[in-house]
Amino acid sequence: MSEENKPNVIVIGAGGVGVVTAYSLSFNGGSKVSMVIRSDYRHVIKNGYTINSCDYGKIEGWKPDFIYSSTAEAAKESSVFFDYVVVTTKNIPDGPKNSTVSEIIRPLVEANDKMNSDKKTSVILVQNGIDLEKELIEKFDASRLNLISGIQFIGSTKIGKGVIDQIGKDRLFVGSFDPSASDSKQAAQKYIELYSNKDYNIVEYEPRSRYARWKKLLYNAAINTTTALVGLDVPRALQFSINGQTSTEKMIFEPAMREIIAIAATEGIVIEEEFIDFFLNISKNILFKPSMCVDAEKGQLMELEVILGNPIRIANKNNVSTPTLSMLYGLLTLVQSKLKEQKGLLKFDEKTLSLKESS
């Protein structure tokens, strides 16, 4: 395929996941790869990325084909149709208004539409949680979008300016959010071709993408959340209860996972009970601090709504009792609000002891 005919892919979010995503696409060579890089923009323009990857080895000075500092800039400067808009940022619908996924991708979607009103934009959300697509269906003309779900298992972290450390193999599952949308399914399969690097990464088509998201929620809703509340990596969260008279596994992780299974069941999605043990077992054997815990410790907002808020809202609608998840949600809402106050997104008046309208 000639350079000109290659599809354009733009990766939004330049953390551990985003950089490996862009690098994998670039390594494959089937697409022209753009990145939106916010905080490390100048550094990467000058020096490129240093990537220590368990999949690709040690890479120095790597740059994607194009670098933009924002999606607005990309839309304005690029003058290309972005076939794939890949979102690897955190999904925080309760965060600042201008950092919701719809607001982030809006300039690209609108520029694409202006440029070619016959071609759909494929949006791939490589993010945690459930019901992520609903925001986009609400905010855009969904008939103009292929909404694609990316479920990634990877251990990759930005450890410094332009420096990425990937310690866990990249396994990506891609499928259409709507299992009956044939354009989205086709676009998902095409993306897999662009992303796959045989012997390097594992990329699979996932026809049951909602099932896969619920399955991953077993881990995220039960384990990720708990570690964020107590500020511990997973093996410590498991072992520290044994020292006392409680059991994190029996009292929190298992009940929370059973509640996720019960909610999913009311949506017609059967998550096999075996996955409870599966997630508990992998948790015991790796010294790992999940994302919400890392975010809370860094003073960053957590993906609380897509990981816990959305499943609990489904549970309420479908009359599923979720005592464990609701308690975690109630407590984590307080932590999230504390983080918001620290970031100035929420103001509390210590004189009247009440919330002020945030500016």
* Site of interaction with a second copy (CB under 8 A): 94, 226, 229-232, 235-237, 239-248, 251-252, 284-285, 287, 309, 323-324, 326-327, 329-331, 333-338, 341, 346, 348, 350, 353-355
Q: How far is the CB of 341 from a second copy (least distance, A)?
A: 8
Nearer to a second copy by Cβ, of 116 and 247: the residue is: 247
Q: From the CB of residue 289, how many other CB atoms can be counted at a distance below 10 Å?
A: 18
Interacting residues of 80 by C-beta distance below 8 A, sequence separation 6+ = 8, 32
Cα angle: 30, vertex 33, 36; to 5 degrees: 160
Residue 79 tokens, joined:
């003058």
- Looking at beta carbons only, is 173 or 253 nearer to a second copy? 253
Nearer to a second copy, 242 or 270 (CB): 242
Q: Which residues share a beta bridge with 10? A: 34, 85
Between 45 and 251, name the residue whose CB sits nearer to a second copy.
251
Provide, rounded to whole angstroms, the least separation between the CB of residue 261 and a second copy: 18
- Cβ distance 257 to 218 under 8 Å? yes
Tokens 């499928």 belong to residue: 175
Q: Smallest distance from the beta carbon of 167 to a second copy, in angstroms? A: 15
Q: Rounded to an integer, what distance in angstroms lies between the CA atom of residue 278 and that of residue 248?
A: 16
C-alpha–C-alpha distance, residues 1 and 193, integer Å: 13
Decide whether 86 or 308 has the Cβ nearer to a second copy: 308
d(CA 339, CA 296): 7
CB of 225 to a second copy, least distance (A): 11
Q: Cβ of residue 348: shortest distance to a second copy, in angstroms?
A: 6
